Amino acid sequence: MTERVRAARGTVPRCRNWRAEALLRMLENVLEVGERPEDLVVYASLGKAARDWPAYHAIVAALTELAEDETLVLQSGRPAGVLHTHSAAPMVVSAVNNTVGAWSDKERFYARMAAGDTIWGGLTAAAWQYIGRQGVLGGTYELLRAALGAEGANGRWLLTAGLGGMGSAQPISARMLGLGSLTVEADPAKIEKLRAAGGLDVVASDLDEAIAAAIEAKAVALQGNAATVFTELAERGVAPDLVTDQTAAHDARYGYLPEGMELGEWRALADAEPERVEQRARESMARQLTAMLAFAERGCIVFENGNNLRVQAAELLGDKAFTIPGFMEAYLRPLFCRGIGPFRWVALSGDENDLAVIDELAATLFPERPEVAEWIRLARIHVPGQGLPARSCWLGHGERSRIAVAVNEAVRDGRIGAPVLFSRDHLDSAGMTHPRIGTEGMRDGSDGVTDWPLLDSMLLSAGGADLVAVHSGGGGYSGWMQSAGVSVVADGSVAAEGRLRLALDLDTGLGVLRHAIAGYPEAVEQAGENQGTQLIELEGER
């Protein structure tokens, strides 16, 4: 079944209340900006918004009739039912692909997916919180900024791969920092999509042209296989200043094109001969990672950007694959210790003027953090729109609720024409456990402990968030991750103000506590500075 979904705009809801209307528009929006909306796939090869089209239509019908004292229950992308709760309860609770440990392997996942019994919800796909490439653009910007350090761009350039839904944020983030970039992408359609959106300066015809343009601080794309191009660059002795990757390497079956295969052949063989495809893909990943290790030996800044490339390559390379650090442990954890992470908002009216009002609030509310105003300034210049007007912005504990309450007031007094939805990436301070991504190298060894996202979902429900989701890994992420997601709607009401303040502060507060208990002094200090966040230390700790 093929359908084209576009998020509703305007100031008139179709649902019985704006809280449900907001969630319906977000469901529509993730498909509007998704990679394969005809298959309900939002990003990362398999991340889906709903289990199938009958489930999608049933969800839409349920949201349309949902009352504020009712809760829609979703189980792995299909509606299970509507329960009577109360007006301060979540409108939607969703659990996706959560299985006991012995069942959390990829073969069982693929079998259950093929039978129509489950989906992988990605992080923000099945929680309807994806806002296109911009959802990770702020995080990529913060990551590259941290990796560049005090020296800044200063004539340096980035080598990377992958221009999918999230990977396409890489050249834009680099451009915002004045950093040249060369991104290798196998699919010409993805290159053209980003070029048409204005996210590329040059689509190179050969490797020499690509290198020259990247050195000139251009955003460059080159069609090719990442393993092949990275290896050739390493063999030539080229030394990019920064090297990473954001292909869908987490999924060796459906996410990474093996060397020597054409796109059409690969897509057919992924279902027909999955073991062969996976083996070939891992061999190619190992070649790519071997080249990355060579770059690191030359003094290049090399890191994995959260796609399990090292885990896949380690099947052939062993532990040396992990001599390349992960991005969170190497660069972003100090921000998470303070509850600072990938916050986002969506103007549900579809009116760019509403987004401009929120941008102005964000640029002025945090004078103690001038980097926020600078990010907003750059984002307004460089970030191409996708779907409903939206913005990602890395804000921390107490800051998220501050802007959300200010926006709620602006909705109430008419400066903003319709409600606004606030959300975040699941890869947040308390929202994820993944020992090779967000929680790699935790100081207390709690890399794989999933208590925190589960506790987060409980607190978010207690705080009255409008949507609370708990996701587990699928495909190549099977057995590797647990995450919690949240959406809260600013509809201008007094009740919304309470939900925004409580849910958002509980979310970031738990993130601060999670890192304080793990032994990070920045988090202990942050907990001591904020009312409502009390750290309990046991005798003899630290």
User: Distance between CA 348 and CA 521 in Å, rounded?
Assistant: 39
- In 3D space, the residue among 351, 376, 354, 355 whose CA is nearest the CA of residue 365 turns out to be 376
Angle at the Cα of 331 from the Cα atoms of 310 and 170, rounded to 5 degrees = 70
User: Distance between CA 317 and CA 453 in Å, rounded?
Assistant: 32
Tokens for 24?
């319906």
- Contact between 420 and 405 under an 8 Å Cβ cutoff? The reply is no
Tokens for 139?
């995080």
Name the catalytic one among 15, 300, 337, 393: 393
Which residue is it, tokens 């080159």?
A: 222
User: Distance between CA 50 and CA 57 in Å, rounded?
Assistant: 9
The amino acid at 164: G
Q: Which helix (H) or strand (E) holds 248?
A: none
- Residues 6 or more apart from 224 whose CB is under 8 A from it? 184, 185, 186, 207
- Among this protein's residues, is 15 annotated catalytic? no
User: Distance between CA 369 and CA 361 in Å, rounded?
Assistant: 13
User: Distance between CA 455 and CA 484 in Å, rounded?
Assistant: 9
- Contact between 393 and 362 under an 8 Å Cβ cutoff? The reply is yes
CA 228 to chain centre: 27
CA 191 to chain centre: 20
User: Distance between CA 45 and CA 120 in Å, rounded?
Assistant: 10
Tokens for 120?
């992988």
Catalytic site residues?
393
